[in-house]
Amino acid sequence: MVEDQTTVAPADDPTAAPVAVVDPRLLLREEGFKGYWTEFKRKTKGGELGSLPVVIGLIVIWTIFQLKNDLFLSADNLSDIGYYMSAYGMLSIGLVFVLLLGEIDLSVGSVSGLASTLFAVFVVDHTMNPWLALFLTVLTGAAIGALHGWFFAKIGVPAFVVTLAGLLGWNGLMLWLLGSSGTINIPSDSGPVNVLAKSSYFMDQAIIGAYLLAGLAVVLSLVGNFGEQRRRKAAGVPFRPTSEILLRVGLLAVVSFVAAAVLNSAAGVSNALVIFLAALVIIDFVLRRTTYGRQVFAVGGGIEAARRAGISVPMVRITVFAISGGFAAVGGMFFAGQTASATLSAGTGNVLMLAIAAAVIGGTSLFGGRGTVWSALLGMLVIQSITTGLNLLNMNTSIQYMITGGVLLGAVVIDSVSRRSQKAAGRG
């Protein structure tokens, strides 16, 4: 039996013996399925929707497109969705950090385009080692982000204005570097470009690769959940019972191995998707399990409260924008891997809007203080599914923009309503 009790004196008689108070959430869990259903309804009424809306939306989108075209859920098409969403997803991971502060970074598209151009210049014009060029490119992206954060945190220039200037300035620098030709072709065997190409797969298309990744995900989930259970037991706070952990891990195992089987039916798991998922796991650990991650949430939840708690708000702001710039540069490398070139169109068009939309649609709040990096995955799944589905139906790009815009508006409305519900319930 899970126990978490505190003792309080009755309000009408402070001298009376303390009375044990049991966490009501634990009583619900002890009731079995009924208890979980009651807790689910309580959270829903209180605006704690989590990823539920986007998961339901994704199921609806997949169902509609599959009914319209039975190729939508084919292995090859799902493999394409996983590959092409990775580049936007990397940009979206960095934007999650910025959105957690309740701010915005409008420069990520331009920084990603500049990154692909810098890499091409390093490798083609200066014959630099591709991996060294990759390191310098990502470092440059992080430095650009830190510069934006410095103007915001130290000078007090609004993040919107700073990053809007960056959007224009870094795009101009990219055009200048590309010169009159407007394109620099990168050798397809150039290290990172070869790794991130569509034809490159984890463990060279070996079937065991996908199942190995699925098994690793299950093992990490087991270790993480039981580790958290042990720590919470030792601290005397509520913890998930073993049955719940096994159920969660079991569901993850089903999803992981089914996905592995589907991708193996195509050509395997692309390196781009593997790197994207690995980045999600690492950054999720940073946000949820480290002091720095808690500081980011604290600053996003309330600047003054964070400052009084001893958190260096300027440091958090600068590093968050540096992370956003670094991931924008990585995303630019993903785009370069898709085309094996740096072009005038890199990072332009709808790149910025889709990266922001992915984070918001996935569940990261525009008001700050709430969200996870997994929203980058969920949001990009929605957006890329819409894009791919409409392409299969030969729909015009304008239809794609209108539908994506409607989904984005719906996500923001849900976020606003849930935030208001939480305030009404005393948790906002």
Distance in angstroms (rounded) separating the CA atoms of residues 151 and 192: 32
Residue 201: left if φ>0, alpha if ψ -120 to 50, beta else—which one? Answer: beta
The predicted-structure confidence for 231-290, as pLDDT tens digits, reads as follows 888 888 777 788 888 888 899 899 889 988 888 888 788 899 999 999 999 999 999 889
Nearest to 90 by CA among 327, 282, 324: 327
Do residues 148 and 159 make contact, with C-beta atoms less than 8 angstroms apart?
yes
Q: What local confidence, expressed as pLDDT, does residue 31 receive?
A: 55
Question: pLDDT value at position 118?
Answer: 95
* The one-letter amino acid at 164: L
pLDDT along the chain (428 residues), means of 10: 45 48 48 60 60 82 90 89 92 94 93 94 92 96 96 94 95 90 85 87 75 89 87 81 85 90 84 92 91 92 90 95 96 92 84 87 80 86 89 82 79 70 56
According to DSSP, the β-strands at 19-22 and 5-8 are: antiparallel
3-class DSSP assignment, residue 222: helix
Q: Residue written as tokens 């001893």?
A: 310
Question: What pTM does this model have?
Answer: 0.84
Distance CA 81, CA 137 (A): 26
